[in-house]
Structure 1
């Protein structure tokens, strides 16, 4: 999947259709290569979350693309997957999801936050980024959980928040921002 992503085709794990659609939307809005991730760790006192997935990131998203390594898949132990930390810099995390609110005619909703991917070792096998969030990290995590958002978000290394806001407004998709 990492090779597919490196060749320019977004690749979403776990049959996450809305995750794949989110990846395509962000690319259409100018994000460049992005990555579908889980939020796997919280350091509330440092206002940090860690985002990770199993190694399907494009090597162009590595801190050092020339030295991005591959390893046996972390969960299934079949095939190979990327094993490198994700690059640093400003990030935006976005997710398109279904909405059960009968008043919402689009039947869709979006969530978005931003932060800074920091220089840090690859904490887990696969691809990891340590992100200092713009919003309080605990508030972000609690908001995602209490509002029933899926465990996957898409991370992009370009600030496309204005474009996401315009798209949401144009398509009448409610947007929750932290």
Structure 2
């Protein structure tokens, strides 16, 4: 028997809520506890074994100090859901992760290069401070044809702590950049 759905699962308003509910229930049944500070983080701790699961939309990051427990947990998830193991973590929400002999190295090189490429600034010279200090920006008196949506797409992803001052200034002109 074949059934045809009138709406796909992704088209429903409650799809993400239902997905999270089903996944969190499966994690709780396995023995995980939900973190109170971040509801997307689940922690399993038993007999010196730590297993941590981080959920981001439909991606799941699994970290553990025991490979056997991690493999067993992946089998459990595979029984509960259709999932695909993508192997060791390389990229996650704009972060590039590389495991080395001295630990984990995290950077945003690819993320920054993608933003520079979008706005055609790959050939620009780097600056130690990305904005002139102690200056006053005001709304422009002339109105050039400027696309505010492109400005928002370029300013929006910039969320690094070392450029928060610049981001604060640039965000003031999101409505009408000139």
TM range (shorter): under 0.3
Q: TM-score, normalised to structure 1's length?
A: 0.25
The structure with more radius of gyration: 2
Question: Larger strand proportion, structure 1 or 2?
Answer: 1
Q: TM-score, normalised to structure 2's length?
A: 0.25
Q: Which has the higher contact order (CA 8 A, sep 6+)?
A: 1
Question: Larger helix proportion, structure 1 or 2?
Answer: 2
